[in-house]
Structure 1
């Protein structure tokens, strides 16, 4: 699968708080967080589902992978989404390994796997 997603009974606000704390422990910062519902409503479109997108980055990791190939910048920053569906809250991301595989540069495989596992750990701790 191209993504990693977990389901929890926690509220979106609790997940967002927990996620930011967990990411910080792994030296990832939230560069930007927005609710797609709010953005669509600002544009005059009715959309009633809260759907948060967090753009997260570890600057040390970003510098390292960008030093290998500038094309990895197409995938940065990493995105984590938080939304409600069918009475549960879902937290997920596109797997960095899936994105890196598009480049076909095996020099990045182990770093992508390491970053992916660290982000999965952050997500899993929110359950």
Structure 2
């Protein structure tokens, strides 16, 4: 599996916090709700580990979630969708796990169409937040 199949990643000229806010705002315009934001840097620092900024933004759309969970409850293992904002080597990145992976991990559930729809929304969020 190639990297582009796994994730959709862009660099942004925005600083870290502005990129996080842009992802949250773009998610709302795509009909996705932010479920939780994990501040990995804070978590690691609180345990004595140095880390560059990293936030994992979990987003979901109830209609899509209901549709895929009706096909196989184990799809919940890969939910909700995640978009990460992180800093590496002084650059800020926005990266999303590709929802199209669901169809590959759960071929019996016939998820290609819905996975492609959600993937388009996720890529639109990343592009808008760029």
Instruction: Note whether the superposition's TM-score is higher than 0.5.
Output: yes
Structure 1 residue 21: Cα displacement: 1.0
Structure 1 unaligned segments of length 5 or more: list them.
Answer: none
Shifted more, 97-106 versus 81-90: the winner is 97-106
Partner of 2:37 in structure 1? 33
What are the superposed Cα offsets for residues 8-59 of structure 1, whole Å, 9 maximum, x if unpaired?
Answer: 111111111111111101111111102111111222x222311101111111
Maintained 8 Å contact 1:37/1:49: yes
What are the superposed Cα offsets for residues 47-73 of structure 1, whole Å, 9 maximum, x if unpaired?
Answer: 231110111111111011111211211
Inter-partner Cα distance in structure 2 for 1:113 and 1:17: 25
RMSD of aligned Cα (Å): 1.3
Q: TM-score, normalised by structure 2?
A: 0.90
Match 1:93 to one of 89, 92, 96: 96
Mapping for residues 3-14 of structure 1, pairs under 5 Å: 3-14=7-18
Inter-partner Cα distance in structure 1 for 2:65 and 2:102: 14
Matched residue count: 126
Partner of 1:124 in structure 2? 127
Q: Which runs of structure 1 show a deviation greater than 3 angstroms over 4 or more consecutive aligned residues?
A: none
Structure 2 unaligned segments of length 5 or more: list them.
Answer: none
